[in-house]
Structure 1
Amino acid sequence: MSALAHAALPVARRVDSARLGRLAIASLHAELACAPKPGLVTPFDTGSHDDMDAGTFLRSLFALRHYFTAVAHAGAADAPFAQLRAQGIAAEAAMLRATGGINTHRGAIFSLGLLVAAAARCRQQAGQAAPATQVCLAVQHWADDFAAAPLDASSPGQRARLRHGVPGVREQAAAGYPLLRELAVPTLRHALHSGLARDAAMCQTLMQLVAQVDDLNLLHRGGADGLGWARQQARSFIDDGGAFAPGWQARLRAIGEGFVARRLSPGGSADLLACSWFLLQQEDA
């Protein structure tokens, strides 16, 4: 469906692109606000980063506020991937201008952008919100196109992916985000339904991701040894009860001290956490 055809639809059938866009920004803000997060930026500390803080992330979010609405509109209009990619490239440029060249949300621009577009496309077709699993699988609609798009071989994530022979976000997207469908979203849903507060549920989900994901940010910063150490710390946290156990915040802060000492930051897992929160929130929006 073309953008013109989408604009001509009866109001009752139009997807509320602005609402999905606001949910995306709110999901990234929820990830930023979540604490404690080992090695990651929170409102209270900069983790393993000396070039960014919470203010940097907030400037990035402000710069991205129109992108997610635009990509939702494009998804609802069944736009080709070339249009989604152009919007993503423009969003990345806006992010870098806002942050003085610091990469705060490049991974989220790709993954969350695709999921927002897929959620809007599902809504347009069904006339209602889609379950998280369906939205993840709907990303495969563009798989052939984004798999063929050029890569930035100079980016730290791509260098780590090639050096260590692990899949990246494109491979995850092409497979319909199995890490989200099978791990992150079920973990987050269970934690919330079990009565954990938002921050606790998100920390539980983050550590489940760190325990199992080939996080390219961890590989870039610490190599295979750093990734293995981070995974072991996360598994230990989960095995000891995770965010369901008394005193979990103090334990996670202690783990965070080890991440900072090793300059490790699970940024890829953080992106997936934000995507998971969006996927759950859009089900009821």
Structure 2
Amino acid sequence: MQTFQHSLPNPYKIARYFAKKAVQALYDEVALYPKPGLVSFIDSGAHQDMNGALFFRSLFGLRHYFFQIGLHTALGSSPKKLVTFGLNAEKTMLKITGGVNTHRGAIFALGILCTSICKLSAKYHAFSTEDLHYAVIEQWAQYLEKEHQNRDTHGTLVTKRYAVPDAKQTAIQGYKAVFHTYNELSNIIHDQTFFGLLAYQRLLLAIDDINILYRTGPEGLEFARYHVQQDICQNNREKSIQKAIELHQLFSKKNISPGGVADMLGLIYFLRHVFSREAK
């Protein structure tokens, strides 16, 4: 289990530090290639309305959001008071992208992780990935269960239709699959590309990806899981990357885009930037 140690002297320094890590993590996510069906700087995957350049402009525009929520959390603000920052960040994103949803999931999920790690850092100068996992649950679970109202989105439609966990339920559980995947792959964390590809595979097998279900139904999710399980193997880096490039073409043609996995990859890369010496 990895530990983060710091000597950040005040809430402003804490918030600035982790806002930078959040932006770096979102950059790493879009830069990762191959990741079957998803947007990168190479191509647009299964999407026609977005590309890597649009993602870059969007993620850069979110840097103030991550700083604001981190600062206010470190200064003692409750989750309920942070919601407005998230809504304003969505407006900023949509203004930058001309109405395209590039990072709504990341605004929610990475925003939660940022607040929890800033709160933890304001109290302690050293903590582990496990400490952060439980901090997310402690800070957010009760608010999300009792007060947070889901909006009518593609995610709520899919959740009702297929009875699968939504972004809110995933957060209530403290992003369990993210922390498990990160710890499971800690031995190859030095290899940013292969680490990301294997994290993509494990996350796709672990979570019911809302975006795939919305686009292609359970059949599409089953198809995607079968192929990533068959074709990507931790014991063969070169073959796995080549197979993933082929799967990227296949998924793109079949309109399979694991957007939920992409959001969780952002969290994985955030953990890598914080806890791994390899990323510093």
C-alpha change, 1:156 and 1:162, in structure 2 (3 Å) is: same
Given the alignment, which residue of 111, 126, 130 partners 1:133?
130
The C-alpha deviation readout for 1:52-94, integer Å capped at 9, x for no partner, is: 0011101111221100111111221221112211111110110
Given the alignment, which residue of 122, 125, 148 partners 1:124?
122
Aligned partners of 2:194 and 2:237 also within 8 Å = no
Taking the aligned partners of 1:136 and 1:95, their CA distance within structure 2 comes to: 27
Given the alignment, which residue of 220, 239, 242 partners 1:247?
239
The C-alpha deviation readout for 1:110-148, integer Å capped at 9, x for no partner, is: 1100000000101111133x3222212211212222232
After TM superposition, the score normalised by the length of structure 2 is: 0.90
Structure ranking higher on relative contact order (CA contacts 8 Å, 6+ apart): 2
SS of equivalent residue, structure 1 residue 102: coil
Give 1:6's aligned residue: none
RMSD: 1.8
Taking the aligned partners of 1:131 and 1:163, their CA distance within structure 2 comes to: 37
Shift of 1:13: 4.4
Taking the aligned partners of 2:184 and 2:54, their CA distance within structure 1 comes to: 29
Aligned partners of 1:137 and 1:177 also within 8 Å = no
Give 1:172's aligned residue: 170
Taking the aligned partners of 1:25 and 1:244, their CA distance within structure 2 comes to: 30
Give 1:162's aligned residue: 160
Q: Does 1:185 align with 2:182?
A: yes
SS of equivalent residue, structure 1 residue 43: coil
Alignment identity in percent? 30
Give 1:151's aligned residue: 150
SS of equivalent residue, structure 2 residue 238: coil
After TM superposition, the score normalised by the length of structure 1 is: 0.89
Give 2:255's aligned residue: 263
Given the alignment, which residue of 196, 199, 202 partners 1:208?
202
The amino acid of 1:251's aligned partner reads K
Runs of 5+ unmatched residues, structure 1: 1-10
Taking the aligned partners of 1:223 and 1:131, their CA distance within structure 2 comes to: 38
Query: 1:1-285 residue pairs with structure 2 within 5 A?
Result: 12-14=9-11, 15-128=13-126, 130-140=127-137, 141-147=139-145, 148-153=147-152, 155-182=153-180, 184-192=181-189, 197-238=191-232, 241-242=233-234, 244-283=236-275
Taking the aligned partners of 1:247 and 1:142, their CA distance within structure 2 comes to: 41
Taking the aligned partners of 1:39 and 1:81, their CA distance within structure 2 comes to: 33
The amino acid of 2:23's aligned partner reads I
The amino acid of 2:274's aligned partner reads Q
Aligned partners of 1:20 and 1:72 also within 8 Å = yes
Greater mean deviation of Cα atoms: 86-95 or 144-153 = 144-153
The C-alpha deviation readout for 1:222-260, integer Å capped at 9, x for no partner, is: 10100111111111123xx24733332221111112211
Give 1:4's aligned residue: none
The C-alpha deviation readout for 1:202-241, integer Å capped at 9, x for no partner, is: 1111111112210101111110100111111111123xx2
Give 2:3's aligned residue: none
Greater mean deviation of Cα atoms: 50-59 or 78-87 = 78-87
